[in-house]
Structure 1
Amino acid sequence: MPPRDCRFDHLSWPAATAAMQQPGATVVWPFGACEQHGPQLPLATDALFAERILDAVLLGLDPLLPIWRLPVQAIGFSPEHASFPGTLSLPADLLIALVDRVGEQLADQGVRRLVLFNAHGGQIALLQVAARQLRVRCPQMAVLPCFLWSGVDGLSGLISEAELEQGLHAAEAETSLMLRLAPELVGPERPVDGLPPAAPGDWSLEGAAPCAWLARDLSASGVIGDSRSASVELGGRLEERLVEHWLRQFKALLASDWPPLNAASTGVSGS
């Protein structure tokens, strides 16, 4: 069977009606950002990753499964990069309201699950807040915020421990993945920049006790980490790990009734 078009916005309204009433109907909303990614990567890096990896995952699923995707949300919450030209950032309350309004309409149409498929680390917590708020307003629909790079097995075998900890932005991993997915968008520079001094105790840029860092505090180039070892070969291995992980995750989700919805929600068509 040939792969089907999973774009929600490519459906006609009768087709959308039928799709959203299928048991377990699931919609995935990819989120990226329009923000600086050093001198070598495009502003659309996160949006491109979210869209390309998700599309590869959807192609790997059974075409009869009830899953569709929305157009990518290409401008997100990026105030930490605002001092670099090209960065566009929505206010936090506007992005939360956007998720709330679109999610409410999907819930009203019978969608059982909405997955927020995010590739921008700077809005992980914000989308978690938006998801919780939407779930309170629409208890008949499960809302699942996730981050492209979280939980992916095998990354430590591909990237050094130092780069896993400190390569937070436009460094080896992101440059390599872009070399694989869209090499025509990658410039020749390979900066080493933004490497922080050792922090006391568990305090760090990200981790158990993170700080609200700004890119300008750390980096003149916009890169945080070491991009010198980036390669298309590494990018291919990262793409493989990402697609395998999310394919496994979506297969498990679509084969289940998880997450549970409360008793007041079970009367909704398609749940």
Structure 2
Amino acid sequence: MDQLRKRFDQLTWPEASKAASRPGATVIWPFGAFEQHGPQLPLSTDAVFADGILDLVLSGLDPALPIWRLPCQAIGFSPEHQNFPGTLSISASLLLELVEQVGSQLAAMGVQRLVLFNAHGGQIGLLQVAARQLRARCPSLAVLPCFLWSGVEGLADLLSDQELLHGLHAGQAETSLMLKMAPELVGSARPVDGRPIPGSDQEPPEGWSLEGAAPCAWLTDDLSATGVIGDASQASVDLGNRLEGRLVNHWQARFQALLASHWPPTQSLLPKPSQSSPRS
């Protein structure tokens, strides 16, 4: 696939107008963050993942499909990391407004679906709120907020239970994936940090957790001196290669299924009421 032809920002305005008016026109907007990822990973880690995985996904789809991507939103909502130098974070209100303004303009062009393709765990809930607000403002636009790692099959086969549960940031999975996608950006440090010590005050009480069903609004420096929450010591290029493959296969399948459907229903797709006059 010619990647430039799937970049909405690389189209001319007549091409963009034609693309947006196609049945099922779908735009993917990748979201990253600009935040510390320990002493071994770059501030752009989440943006690198969102941008790179999306390009790989699109390259495997039929080029005739009505799907395009926007440039990555590389600065996100990251207040949990702000006590570590280098982190840049925008406010929740600014991110909500950004999604609403851009999404409203896409809807006005005729785009039918906007997928918020997010790789930063700290803004999952916020982008869900943004999606709901945008949907209410633009009833003709289906809005789908997604998280890169959510629902991906087979991760439990590649990562330990401990790392699946507590490897929340710059641990084995993220370090391995960066070793595969941009090894020149990975430093030599491999910290193990931020994981609860069993039986200590650091371990959440029964039924509670850092994330999950009963989460805590943690700040990174509550948990970690290095910025890592997890175990980076077992990271490898081989694991990164397998993680990349699972992510790409998962999202290719999801986008193919979406583009082959009329889902999700919007007001523009719902049956119109009969215009005939009632008989007297």
Give your verdict on TM over 0.5: yes
Conserved? CA contact 1:139–1:265, under 8 Å: no
Measure, in 1, the Cα distance between the counterparts of 2:145 and 2:267.
Answer: 19
In 2 relative to 1, CA 208–6 (structure 1 residues): closer, same or farther, beyond 3 Å? same
Measure, in 1, the Cα distance between the counterparts of 2:269 and 2:235.
Answer: 51
Q: Which of these residues, 221, 227, 242, is aligned with residue 226 of structure 2? A: 221
Measure, in 2, the Cα distance between the counterparts of 1:169 and 1:115.
Answer: 24
Query: Which letter does structure 1 place at the counterpart of 2:243?
Result: L
Deviation at 1:262, TM superposition (A): 2.5
Q: Which of these residues, 215, 235, 253, is aligned with residue 210 of structure 1? A: 215
Deviation at 1:202, TM superposition (A): 1.5
Tell me the residue number matched to 1:138.
138
In 2 relative to 1, CA 99–240 (structure 1 residues): closer, same or farther, beyond 3 Å? same
Query: Which letter does structure 2 place at the counterpart of 1:137?
Result: R
Q: Pairwise mapping of residues 91-106 of structure 1 onto structure 2 (< 5 A)?
A: 91-106=91-106
SS of residue in 2 equivalent to 1:210: coil
Which segments of 5 or more consecutive residues in structure 1 lack a partner in the other structure?
A: none
Q: Which of these residues, 228, 232, 239, is aligned with residue 234 of structure 1? A: 239
Q: Pairwise mapping of residues 122-201 of structure 1 onto structure 2 (< 5 A)?
A: 122-196=122-196, 197-201=202-206
SS of residue in 2 equivalent to 1:27: strand
Aligned length: 267
SS of residue in 2 equivalent to 1:153: coil
In 2 relative to 1, CA 116–3 (structure 1 residues): closer, same or farther, beyond 3 Å? closer
Which segments of 5 or more consecutive residues in structure 2 lack a partner in the other structure?
A: 197-201, 273-280
Can you list the C-alpha shifts for 1:65-99, whole angstroms capped at 9, x where unaligned?
00000000000000000000000000000000000
Measure, in 2, the Cα distance between the counterparts of 1:127 and 1:211.
Answer: 19
The more displaced of 48-57 and 3-12 is 3-12
Deviation at 1:2, TM superposition (A): 6.0
Measure, in 1, the Cα distance between the counterparts of 2:35 and 2:66.
Answer: 33
* Bigger radius of gyration: 2
- What percentage of aligned pairs have identical amino acids? 69
Tell whether 2:5 aligns with 1:5.
yes
Conserved? CA contact 2:139–2:268, under 8 Å: no
Deviation at 1:5, TM superposition (A): 2.5
Measure, in 2, the Cα distance between the counterparts of 1:58 and 1:36.
Answer: 28
In 2 relative to 1, CA 61–85 (structure 1 residues): closer, same or farther, beyond 3 Å? same
Conserved? CA contact 2:140–2:268, under 8 Å: no
Measure, in 1, the Cα distance between the counterparts of 2:110 and 2:271.
Answer: 11
After TM superposition, which residue ranges in structure 1, 4 or more long, deviate above 3 angstroms? 1-4, 263-267
Higher relative contact order (CA 8 A, sep 6+): 1
Conserved? CA contact 1:77–1:92, under 8 Å: yes
Conserved? CA contact 2:119–2:148, under 8 Å: yes
In 2 relative to 1, CA 194–68 (structure 1 residues): closer, same or farther, beyond 3 Å? same
